[in-house]
Amino acid sequence: DTEVTQTPKHLVMGMTNKKSLKCEQHMGHRAMYWYKQKAKKPPELMFVYSYEKLSINESVPSRFSPECPNSSLLNLHLHALQPEDSALYLCASSQAGTGYTEAFFGQGTRLTVV
Amino acid sequence: GQQLNQSPQSMFIQEGEDVSMNCTSSSIFNTWLWYKQDPGEGPVLLIALYKAGELTSNGRLTAQFGITRKDSFLNISASIPSDVGIYFCAGQYFRGGSEKLVFGKGTKLTVNP
């Protein structure tokens, strides 16, 4: 099973709302990633968790707050977003500790901020 | 930071033709990955390459990890309409106790029946 499951698939939220994106994998991977992808652009790295600890934050605004409650789950909490934050948000996972590993992606959450 | 130069940016081909795309970088990567992405979906892993010089096939797809660890190519033979999509290369490395995966800008493939 190489499945990474993201929910919801679509999300529309107002600029004053608080919402969360969820990601789950059961491959035993200990590295999990959040990416943001705008139309016709490649995915851009936002956060990396390694062994449930935040290891990389690519200078992401604080209105995006990641959380890794356990080795299978990754959340992205959203608060006070701007319309320019509308994008496809992708979760990925891989083995950790080597850099010699496959990374698998979920199908993404299409976020629209109104 | 690490950057990947992927080319061509787009390709328009006839069904049955072969396709080649490549990625280069000034940085060394541990792993090269090739993905295909359909509109509104997440990238799907096609091929993973781990060793310099490695040549790997997956059906009609063939990819190679450059000997310098700074480049990779992907070939698609006998293209079919369902090959349409955006193909991304990605390089993975390990730095500061964490994995990082960076992407090329993508090659948009159009296949005319």
Task: Inform me whether the C-beta atom of residue A110 falls under 8 Å from chain B C-beta atoms.
Answer: yes
> At B61, which amino acid appears?
L
Kindly report, residue by residue over B19-44, the tens digit of the pLDDT.
Answer: 999 999 999 999 999 999 999 899 99
Kindly report, residue by residue over A84-105, the tens digit of the pLDDT.
Answer: 999 999 999 998 877 778 899 9
Q: Nearest by CB to A105, from B43, B95, B98: name it.
A: B43
Give the residue on B whose Cα is nearest the Cα of A91: B42
Contacts of B48 in chain A (CB under 8 A): 102
Strand pairing report for B61-65 and B55-58: antiparallel
Contacts of B90 in chain A (CB under 8 A): 103
Q: Using 70 as the pLDDT threshold, list the residues of chain A that sit under it.
A: 1
Task: Inform me whether the C-beta atom of residue A76 falls under 8 Å from chain B C-beta atoms.
Answer: no
User: What is the CA A42 to chain-centroid distance, rounded?
Assistant: 15
B78 vs B101, which has greater pLDDT? B78
Task: For residues A67 and A21, give the distance between their C-alpha atoms in angstroms, rounded to a whole number.
Answer: 10
Q: In this prediction, what percent of chain B has a pLDDT beyond 90?
A: 85
